[in-house]
Amino acid sequence: MNDIIDVDTNNRKAEGLKTVGWISYLLHLIVAVAAVVPAAQPSLLLLVIALVIDLVKRSDADGTWQANHFSWRIRSVLWAGVLYVVTFPFFLLGLFLFNPAWILISVWFLYRIVRGMVAMNSNRAVDA
């Protein structure tokens, strides 16, 4: 009987976090699309806001399929950040005009955000 109550509680908790997840994914999506589209750079502030939301609300998702999404978004931002920093010298060599590494990182980041959104829309964890 307790298992049924726990599953029901976790399902309600996951549904309640869906709004937070959509807000975070949409902020990530705006930044990701803008990173791929030339001359459409929104503020990095949106990405920081989404990351803070995910870090603050992550523990609320413990025990639900939503926990996977919080980790997915946090890892996506952190990996993209590391990759941008590591490839920054290529950006300087291109005299700020063209950096294929940054284009690939941006496309990868966009892919991860869309993949997460599709999984969340289906009420399931993101397959790793």
- Could you state, in order of their start, the residue ranges of all structural domains in the chain? 2-121
Ramachandran category for residue 125: left, alpha or beta (phi over 0 → left; psi -120 to 50 → alpha)? beta
**pLDDT tens-digit readout, 38-96:** 655 667 788 889 999 999 999 999 988 999 999 999 999 999 989 988 888 877 776 55
Taking the model in full, what pTM does it have?
A: 0.80
Coil, strand, or helix at residue 93?
helix
Return the structure tokens found at 38. 């030339």
